[in-house]
């Protein structure tokens, strides 16, 4: 018996089946309706003002070793230019829908993502700047959904330096349940909690294994 056969057999045992002599109407020959899943868990842990929500997000992002910066709309281009310069970046990957003024003060050579771009080509890019779909304060998580200001998933996983811009407080929710209600499940979602990192059995931390080694978050809102 193959693994597939064993799995299907378990499914058949778990789903009630009519007996051989039980008449079944054609319209009833459909998969049984799944039982209602209880949703009685807490949707959010505590009440927060918008400012408290953003402060919690910033604290949790920093706990995950992301570098957090704050600015207003007017100061965003100069801040992005400074972050790229301090990194020593010569090239920056630009999603197709990134607002042009974001990088209006940057001196780096823009690299536009193309379907023909290979992982090796993307790996040679120094930095990538994107927006986001939203962020979750309680978990310090940034969610990307492939919208034009974020681009395809691979452009945020291959370059070693990712600068992600979050508009606050509009793009910040308290909890994962609240985030799921605002996200489109049909889109490709990338959930990011800090820079890429992993540990071996001796708990030696290695960063940059399956994503950027450095994650910088820019919170854009009234100062």
Q: 116 vs 23, 43, 128, 144, CA distance in Å? A: 57, 42, 18, 22
Identify any residues that bridge with 165 across adjacent strands, giving them in sequence order: 218
Domain at 50-220: CATH code: 3.40.50.10420
> Can you spell out the DSSP letters for the chain?
--HHHHHHHHHHHHS----TT----GGG-SPPPPPPPP--S-SSSS---HHHHHHHHHHHHHHTT-EEEEE-TTTHHHHHHHHHHHHT-SEEEE-TTS-GGGGTT--SEEEE--TT--HHHHHT--EEEE--SEEETTTTEEEE---TTT--THHHHSSSEEEEEEETTTTEESSHHHHHHHS-TTS--EEE-SS-EEE-TT--EEESSSS-SEEEEEEES--
Backbone phi and psi for residue 192, each to the nearest 5 degrees, phi listed first:
-120, 120
Report pLDDT for 38.
82
Query: In sequence order, what are the residues at sequence separation of 6 or more whose Cβ sits closer than 8 angstroms to the Cβ of residue 76?
Result: 101, 102, 165, 218, 220
Domain residue spans of the chain:
50-220
Report pLDDT for 40.
82
Q: d(Cα 223, Cα 220) in Å, to the nearest integer?
A: 8
Per-residue pLDDT of the chain in tens (223 residues, 90 and over written 9)? 788 888 888 888 887 666 666 665 555 555 667 788 787 888 889 899 999 999 999 999 999 899 999 999 999 999 999 999 999 999 999 999 999 999 999 999 999 988 888 989 999 999 999 999 999 999 999 999 999 999 999 999 999 999 999 999 999 999 999 999 999 999 999 999 877 667 666 667 666 566 788 999 999 996 5
Report pLDDT for 220.
98
- Say if CB 165 and CB 131 are below 8 A apart: yes
Report pLDDT for 34.
74
Two tokens at 101? 């003024």
Report pLDDT for 43.
86
> Can you spell out the DSSP letters for 22-65?
----GGG-SPPPPPPPP--S-SSSS---HHHHHHHHHHHHHHTT
Report pLDDT for 95.
95
To the nearest 10°, report the CA torsion of 7, 10, 14, 19. Answer: 110
Q: d(Cα 60, Cα 200) in Å, to the nearest integer?
A: 24
């Amino acid at each position: 018996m193959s693994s597939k056969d064993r799995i299907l057999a378990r499914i058949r045992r778990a789903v009630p089946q009519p007996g051989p002599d039980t008449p079944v109407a054609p319209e009833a020959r459909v998969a049984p309706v799944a039982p209602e899943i209880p949703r009685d868990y807490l949707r959010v842990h505590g009440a927060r003002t918008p400012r408290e929500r953003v402060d919690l997000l910033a604290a949790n992002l920093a706990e995950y070793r992301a570098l957090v910066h704050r600015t207003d709309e007017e100061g965003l281009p100069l801040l992005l230019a400074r972050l790229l310069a301090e990194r020593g970046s010569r090239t920056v990957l630009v999603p197709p829908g990134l607002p042009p003024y974001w990088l209006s003060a940057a001196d780096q050579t823009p690299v536009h993502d193309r379907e023909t771009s290979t992982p090796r080509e993307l790996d040679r890019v120094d930095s990538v700047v994107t927006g986001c779909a939203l962020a979750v304060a309680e978990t310090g998580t940034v969610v990307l959904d492939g919208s034009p200001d974020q681009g395809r998933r691979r452009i945020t996983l291959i370059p070693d330096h990712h600068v992600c811009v979050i508009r606050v407080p509009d793009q910040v929710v308290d909890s994962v349940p609240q985030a799921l209600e605002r996200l489109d499940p049909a889109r490709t979602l990338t959930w990011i909690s800090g820079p890429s990192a992993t540990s071996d059995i001796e708990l030696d931390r290695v960063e940059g294994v399956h994503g950027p080694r450095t994650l910088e978050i820019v919170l854009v809102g009234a100062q």
